[in-house]
Amino acid sequence: MNASIHIDKISKSYGNVQALKNISLDIHSGELFGLIGPDGAGKTTLFRLLATLLLPDEGSAQLCDIDSIAGYKKIRNLLGYMPGKFSLYQDLSVIENLRFFATVFNTKIEDNMDMIHDIWVQIEPFKHRLAGQLSGGMKQKLALCCALIHQPKILLLDEPTTGVDSVSRSEFWQMLKGLKKRGITIVVATPYMDEANLCERVALIQDGEVLQVNTPAEIVAQFGKELYSVRSDDNYQSLLDLREFEATHSVFLFGQSLHYTDLRNEVPEEDLKQYLEKKGRSGILIEKIKPSIEDCFMALSTKSEDHE
């Protein structure tokens, strides 16, 4: 089966908030695809449209070559959807939750154990515990089992790793790789830019618009500028000073340093250092670094703001 997703010029507003603005996107059958964007970018709205829970104002979508409006009943059987919040019944036990989701899809746990086995073995010891009493990582595994119990061809996961510890996060991505081997198309929405590298292709989205779609490696390769990490005794003051500097192309605070690009093709690091020293900074350390997906996102989102 062709488990692809085709999104054609979809727009959706809530009152005067335009959550999705003319979005077009193609996700290939069997792909592990990331929707990467900050809170409010429109990820959940797009998932609800694909899950046939919301109607678009304009545009259309096909999942497994079926129109999301005309064929919504068929799509619901082919789709597994793990919403960001509230996908489990907190006052039902682990096994009761799983049985409930199996029943909704008119199937039995036993008939689908093969599909969820690798994940299920990790939570089976807690099968009589109430879902509300599970850790974040366990809840996430149970929610994934519930989304998979009817053997979907496409899996939509909305921020599955938000609020989950780093060990559970990396275990979760391992589980997704296992599911991908079964040929399931997996779309993961995440605000964590570092998770982009775990996807085959990603769409960077912001304010309801797709800024770029490509492989993580290609997105980084297209950054197009030399990037520098700049540190000093007072990074915040350096940020304010560099915003005033005539040769600054962009400057952002990134954790413990500033990420800087220059308008000139050649960046005389000494010149930059002298400028900051004149402004009273000391302990200045400037080094050329490789851009990350987050750097690319910042650059693209600034460009799109400039065009508005």
Residue type, 156: L
Token pair in block for residue 261: 């690009």
Stretch that binds ligand ATP, among 40-48, 74-82, 245-253, 298-306 (CB under 6 A): 40-48
- Please report, as residue ranges, which positions from 118 to 177 form the binding site for ligand ATP (by CB under 6 A): none
* Residue 17 interacts with ligand ATP (CB under 6 A): yes or no: yes
* Residue 44 interacts with ligand ATP (CB under 6 A): yes or no: yes
Tell me how many residues contact ligand ATP (CB under 6 A): 11
Distance separating alpha carbons of residues 289 and 298, to the nearest angstrom: 16
Distance separating alpha carbons of residues 303 and 211, to the nearest angstrom: 9
* Residue 43 interacts with ligand ATP (CB under 6 A): yes or no: yes
* Least Å from the CB of residue 34 to ligand ATP: 13
The pair phi, psi for residue 219, each rounded to 5°, is: -60, -45
* Least Å from the CB of residue 17 to ligand ATP: 5
* Residue 19 interacts with ligand ATP (CB under 6 A): yes or no: yes
Collapsed DSSP state (helix, strand, coil) of residue 179: helix
- Name which position in 34, 42, 80, 160 contacts ligand ATP (CB under 6 A): 42
* Least Å from the CB of residue 265 to ligand ATP: 36
Closest CA to 253 of 273, 231, 286: 231
Classify the phi-psi angles of 106: left when phi > 0, otherwise alpha if psi is within -120 to 50, otherwise beta: left
* Residue 206 interacts with ligand ATP (CB under 6 A): yes or no: no
Distance separating alpha carbons of residues 119 and 141, to the nearest angstrom: 7
- Evaluate the CA torsion angle 129, 130, 131, 133 in order and state its sign: negative
- Name which position in 6, 26, 30, 40 contacts ligand ATP (CB under 6 A): 40
Token pair in block for residue 302: 């600034």
* Residue 113 interacts with ligand ATP (CB under 6 A): yes or no: no
- Name which position in 45, 161, 190, 238 contacts ligand ATP (CB under 6 A): 45
Stretch that binds ligand ATP, among 37-45, 59-67, 218-226, 287-295 (CB under 6 A): 37-45
* Residue 37 interacts with ligand ATP (CB under 6 A): yes or no: yes
Which of residues 39 and 306 has its CB atom nearest to ligand ATP in the complex?
Answer: 39
* Least Å from the CB of residue 29 to ligand ATP: 24
Which of residues 25 and 64 has its CB atom nearest to ligand ATP in the complex?
Answer: 25
Which of residues 19 and 188 has its CB atom nearest to ligand ATP in the complex?
Answer: 19
Long-range contacts of 258-261 (CB under 8 A, 24+ apart): 258/229, 258/230, 258/231, 259/227, 259/228, 259/229, 259/230, 259/289, 259/295, 259/298, 260/227, 260/228, 260/229, 260/230, 261/225, 261/226, 261/227, 261/228, 261/299
Judged by the rule CB under 6 A, the positions of this chain that interact with ligand ATP are: 14, 17, 19, 37, 39-45
